[in-house]
Amino acid sequence: MQSIQAIISQSPPVDKVGVEERVARFQSRSIKNESKLQGLKMVLNMIDLTTLEGKDTPGKVKQMCYKAHHPHDLLPGLPNVAAVCVYPTMVELAKKELAGTSVKIASVSTAFPSGQAPMSVKLDDTRFAVDSGADEIDMVISRGKFLSGEYAYVFDEIAAIKEACGKARLKVILETGELSTLDNVRKASDIAIYAGADFIKTSTGKIQPAATMQVTYTMLMAIRDYFDKTGTMVGMKPAGGISTSKLALHNLVMVKEILGDAWLTNEWFRFGASSLANDVLMQLVKLSDGKYQSPDYFSID
């Protein structure tokens, strides 16, 4: 295993101007209707429907779980979303509601969203979620430690949570809106990947800016470089701020060109954006019958 010093030293500086130019090209692509239909269904199948509020109730979680495997009752044949993401205390309920479906149960942990808790609490948080039936864990890194240059602490924390996950897959949330620079985003991505992340994820959705295409591009490049070096795939999850189908499709174009077709599946790419699901469904209805439905026809999750 590489030392943290070696990981940081090989993390390349990010050319911010170059990144912005590449992203602008991705955003200028036009997508024909046939490809758009295929892309929208792919996006829907990559969404993690999420409810992470202090006011979450069993009823709200049940409604979200129903929507997860019945995206639109008037458009049969649509794919499920990839997962539902809830607090650890709601995992058991979500697991029961989605039994027999292909929808995964994800849970946040490690004192989400702040991450400001002792390591023992973070480990207990993770184990409780896994023991309750979570298939995936979305953890937050200690941004204060990272910004203080305590990179070994961040690495060791991720590695410990990865071990606590057992068979559950680990998504590591960098909270890029608090990292300030693309150089920091790249360093945090490399630390998370080498510490054992199955996915790296931009944001909690609580801090802006979140999943900008510039940030996602930087994280995708970290994944590509790691794959080129090791042959090991790592997933990507932009979360927060992706609310339109157009932006989601631009992200898919970027993933395809940087990582290739192997990542164009919900096993390796996710969107953390519940509001995106409704826009995708509205676009699919439009492609089906030529008319937009009012947003009032869709549940708010």
Q: What is the pLDDT of residue 274?
A: 76
pLDDT tens profile 208-264: 888 999 999 999 999 999 999 999 999 999 999 899 999 999 999 999 999 999 999
| Confidence (pTM) | 0.94
pLDDT tens profile 142-181: 999 999 999 999 999 999 999 999 999 999 999 999 999 9
Q: Which stretches of 76-155 are assigned E, i.e. beta strand?
A: 83-86, 104-108, 136-140
Q: What is the pLDDT of residue 217?
A: 98
Question: What CA–CA distances, in Å, run from 154 to 150, 190, 229?
Answer: 7, 11, 22
| Structure token pair of residue 9 | 């030293």
pLDDT tens profile 71-109: 776 677 889 999 999 999 999 999 999 999 999 999 999
Strand 83-86 to 235-237 pairing: unpaired
Question: Quick one: which H or E segment has residue 173?
Answer: strand 169-173
SS3 breakdown of the chain: % helix, strand, coil, rounded to 5? 50, 10, 35
Q: What is the pLDDT of residue 31?
A: 80
Asked whether residue 183 carries a pLDDT value surpassing 90, the answer given is: yes
Asked whether residue 296 carries a pLDDT value surpassing 90, the answer given is: no
Answer yes or no: are the C-beta atoms of 106 and 76 closer than 8 Å: no
- Triad 82, 98, 92: Cα angle to 5°: 110
Q: What is the pLDDT of residue 32?
A: 78
Asked whether residue 131 carries a pLDDT value surpassing 60, the answer given is: yes
Q: What is the spatial order of strands in the sheet that 169-173 belongs to?
A: 48-50, 83-86, 104-108, 136-140, 169-173, 199-201, 235-237
Mean pLDDT confidence for 175-192: 97
Q: Which stretches of 232-273 are assigned E, i.e. beta strand?
A: 235-237
pLDDT > 70: percent of the chain:
94
Q: What is the pLDDT of residue 198?
A: 98
Q: What is the pLDDT of residue 60?
A: 96
Asked whether residue 292 carries a pLDDT value surpassing 60, the answer given is: no
Residue type at 180 in one-letter notation = S
Question: Quick one: which H or E segment has residue 144?
Answer: helix 143-147
Distance CA 31, CA 288 (A): 17
Answer yes or no: are the C-beta atoms of 39 and 249 closer than 8 Å: yes
The fourth-level CATH superfamily of domain 4-297 is Aldolase class I (3.20.20.70)
User: Active-site residue numbers?
Assistant: 138, 201, 237
250: Cα separation from own chain's centroid:
16
Q: What is the pLDDT of residue 294?
A: 54
Q: What is the pLDDT of residue 265?
A: 98
The greatest distance separating any two alpha carbons of the chain, rounded to the nearest whole angstrom, comes to 57
